[in-house]
Chains A and B, each alone.
Chain A
């Protein structure tokens, strides 16, 4: 990092005057019922929430704290959910600043980050599975999916490998609307986790694979079903990696448009469902997409939306993001359980969201929750009403 950039980063960190509002604010006017999910679900020392992380980051950068894995650990026990940014009184973005700090301090050993990065670079996904799995779900469809076309469904690692129900539902929706789409062979990872965890060089290398895959497909439009992929491809690629991609849309935004245009008509299944919605951080706070999923649910006959205590810009995180699920799976799961408990408090039958990574973590969290609620992707609710 050049000196000027380092000075700018330190100035950013000094914007934190340590007021501590990022810890647990119950700020009803802003919709906040607490802020930091890590503070709430850990031993709760100062380094668990953003004020402490800013102090540690500054000391590491200025050489006042040893650049060791132990001293830097707290920088990684954060989902980068951005709730702190939403409530911060200062004119800066602590979550993005922490992400930059991770990149600048990437020379500090971090075996977990390095392992995840190496896995992605070796397998094109972080799950160390055969990457052909990412397209295997297409065999369960009753129509063919080509590998080239104007519309590319960029499946994402989690939907492709861990939550194929999301991928299948997305494909069926596109097919129902008469949209021809393709899914490439050996789809690369979007690289989101590498950008979040400071593995910037690898993220650049990975981005070249993504661009090559998009070009190979001949795509002019990219549809994603993962909030992490959406943020990475739509925002990080041009802004952080300096690369250009065709238009990137989330399937939920597309469904909203298709319903409005009359190209999709959800039917009444005769079932009445009370559904609460979890705002994925990458879709909500990062990209400001709050209305589309709610409008889609509003258009589903028999579906009644009941909101949780924290929603939209003040929504609590599912606990999966920022690399936390790899760095501290137990903490990540406790955060998910807390979010599921928030959903249970609404009395909803279903906890829906618009990100397979959130679905996956919330499903893990649901096992320890105080009651039972089904966790699904919105696209599953949609596709069930298209049959």
Chain B
């Protein structure tokens, strides 16, 4: 990077918060995305606030320097792997939190993690009731940029459903506020669909390719304290799928529900069953692990009774082992980290959504591809909203075996193609989802036009969103 550019960046963020050190660049050349090649940037800055982010982008835009925004570095599909010679903008110093109690909302800087926000809101008996599985690490802004999900999503949907507005810095350094806060006289964030088109939505899931999110305004909810944890057994995939759909249809307050195929459940319990105190059990072919939560005990009792009745009407049975869903929910900040890393393998993940009624199709394709390529892996997921189910299949490899890693990359691309054909959709438009898919051409053309309009020099996280 040109010395004069570095000098200007130093003037903006201060010498302490600019680095071109070889070791530092190496550390920013990768993220939690295993199975992706590292790429060395030329510099990293850690701006203190939105104004500094804007000034940094003005400089980068002027010089055509590719910029990779980065928060927790916990994304798993290569979203923050930088461009060679590019600039990484580390946003973790943007840590303001402002509560708008009467508006039922909160505004957070791009450096605020889910866990930090949850602790802050707990003091007010509130929460943003979605917890991505990397909640201890990942920020609200980063998660909004990928439209993530996690425990809580079974009832409340993906994080997009929580967003009331965004503060975004465009490629040329302009700062744009969406939602009600676009009106500087508004008391704060209280409506996302203010002033016409959903500009907020344009940036959600855009992976930082259309602008850098520097602040997020979100809905808050009264914190739930009454929970029921249970497991429900079924002989067929269809019955398990029907059950989770009926939970939604009947407005049961299911915060987190997962369908486990028998062998997958055994795999998880072999790893962590003892740690979470799950007793030995002859598990049925399909198990639904569910946490139901309600503000009032009478609501909870009603929901629990109805869930039981639905389960039995479908031909299932209530297993009654509570430790599995309790571990998933009560330890939601860490349990998925444990289950993802306790086993030792590196992996590639292929996040996608299906309708619950199509759960079995994802499972079939995942097993088929793993078997064909001779790979180990698993698939797990959870009910993720109104009528969707989030999958996060892992394809394992050993990092010192380059042949196996190459095989995983091939299998991963093949799986994306097959899942697309089943009707699955990604919530992160990684390039492998659309490579060679002609039906997506009009959609990608529009995205391309939007990208050109907002970022004519193509500096913002190039190549990450569908290859744009």
**Chain A positions 51-92 with a Cβ under 8 Å from a chain B Cβ:** 51-52, 55-56, 59, 64-66, 70-74, 87-91
State whether the Cβ of A14 lies closer than 8 Å to any Cβ in chain B: yes
What residues of A have a CB within 8 angstroms of the CB of B34 in the complex? 17-18
Q: A45 vs B333: C-alpha distance in the bound complex, in angstroms?
A: 24
**Complex interface residues of chain A between 5 and 41 (CB less than 8 A to chain B):** 10-11, 14-15, 17-21, 23-30, 33
Q: Does B136 contact A (CB under 8 A)?
A: yes
Q: Which of B171-179, B288-296, B341-349, B436-444 forms contacts with chain A?
A: B341-349
State whether the Cβ of B400 lies closer than 8 Å to any Cβ in chain A: yes
Bound CA–CA A274/B337 (angstroms): 38
Q: Decide: B344 and A27 in contact? CB cutoff 8 A.
A: no
Whether A73 pairs with B23 at a CB distance below 8 angstroms is yes
Give the interface size class of chain B.
35 or more
Give the residue among B333, B342, B346 with the most A Cβ atoms within 10 A.
Answer: B333
Q: Write out the residue numbers on chain A whose beta carbons fall within 8 Å of the beta carbon of B30.
A: 18, 55
Kindly identify, within residues 375 to 423 of chain B, every residue whose CB is under 8 Å from any CB belonging to chain A.
399-400
Check if B346 sits within 8 Å of A29, measured CB to CB. no
A52–B242 Cα distance when bound, in Å, is 45
CB pair B400–A89 under 8 Å, yes or no, is no
Q: Which residues of B contact A25 (CB under 8 A)?
A: 113, 115, 136-137, 333
**Nearest chain A residue, comparing its CB with the CB of B337:** A89
| Nearest CB in chain B to that of A75: its residue | B23
A215 contacts the other chain (Cβ, under 8 Å)?
Answer: no
| B435 adjacent to chain A (CB < 8 Å) | no
Determine if B116 is an interface residue (Cβ-Cβ < 8 Å).
yes
Inter-chain contact B116/A21, CB cutoff 8 Å: no
> How far apart sit A47 and B24, CA to CA, in the bound complex (Å)?
6
Q: How far is the CB of A3 from chain B (nearest CB, A)?
A: 13
Determine whether A238 belongs to the interface, using a CB cutoff of 8 Å to chain B. no
> Which residues on the A side are within 8 Å of B21 (C-beta)?
47, 70
Q: Is the CB of B74 within 8 A of A20?
A: yes
Contact bitstring A339-367, B, C-beta under 8 A = 1, else 0: 00000000000000000000000000000
Chain A's nearest CB lies how many Å from the CB of B331?
A: 6
Per-residue contact bits, chain A 85-120, to B (CB 8 Å; 1 contact, 0 not): 001111100000000000000000000000000000
Task: Type the 1/0 row for B315-342, where 1 means its CB is closer than 8 Å to any CB of A.
Answer: 0000000000000001101100110111
CB within 8 Å of A: which of B103-126? 113, 115-116, 118-119, 122
Asked if B16 is at the interface of the complex by the 8 Å CB criterion, the answer is yes
A43 proximal to B (CB < 8 A):
yes
Question: Is A27 touching B23 in the complex (CB atoms < 8 A)?
Answer: no
Question: Cβ of B46 < 8 Å from any Cβ of A?
Answer: yes
| B399: A residues at CB distance < 8 A | 14
Central interface residue in B28, B136, B340, by most chain A CB within 10 Å: B136
Shortest Cβ distance from residue B200 to the other chain A in the assembled complex, whole angstroms: 27
Closest to A10 in B: B400
Q: Contacts A14-B399, A27-B115, A29-B331: A47 and B23 contacting too (C-beta < 8 A)? A: yes
Question: In the assembled complex, how far is the CB of residue B391 from the closest CB belonging to chain A, in whole angstroms?
Answer: 20
CA A19 – CA B26 in complex, angstroms? 16
Identify the closest chain A residue to B16 (Cβ): A43
- Answer whether residue B90 sits at the interface, using C-beta atoms and an 8 A cutoff: yes
In the complex, chain B residues 22-64 whose Cβ is within 8 Å of any chain A Cβ: 22-24, 26-28, 30-32, 34, 44, 46
> Contact at A44–B92, with CB atoms within 8 Å?
yes
Chain A, Cβ-Cβ closest to B334: A27
Cβ of B72 < 8 Å from any Cβ of A?
A: yes
A44 to B45, CA, bound (A): 11
Cβ 8 A contact of A90, one of B31, B344, B400:
B344
Q: How far is the CB of A354 from chain B (nearest CB, A)?
A: 29
The verdict on A239 contacting chain B, using a C-beta distance below 8 Å, is no
Q: Is A46 an interface residue (CB 8 A)?
A: yes
Interface string of A234-265 (1 = CB under 8 A from B): 00000000000000000000000000000000
A295 to B74, CA, bound (A): 41
Known: A26-B136, A45-B90, A70-B23. A20 touches B334 (CB 8 A): no
User: How close is B41's CB to chain A, nearest CB, in angstroms?
Assistant: 11
Can you name the residue of chain B whose Cβ is closest to the Cβ of A71?
A: B23
List 16 extra interface pairs beyond A46-B73, A47-B21, A87-B136, CB under 8 A.
A14-B400, A15-B344, A17-B346, A18-B34, A19-B134, A26-B118, A26-B119, A28-B122, A44-B93, A45-B28, A45-B46, A47-B23, A52-B23, A52-B24, A65-B23, A90-B342
- Give 12 CB contacts A-B under 8 Å: A11-B400, A14-B346, A19-B137, A20-B72, A24-B113, A26-B118, A29-B331, A29-B333, A44-B46, A47-B23, A70-B21, A89-B337
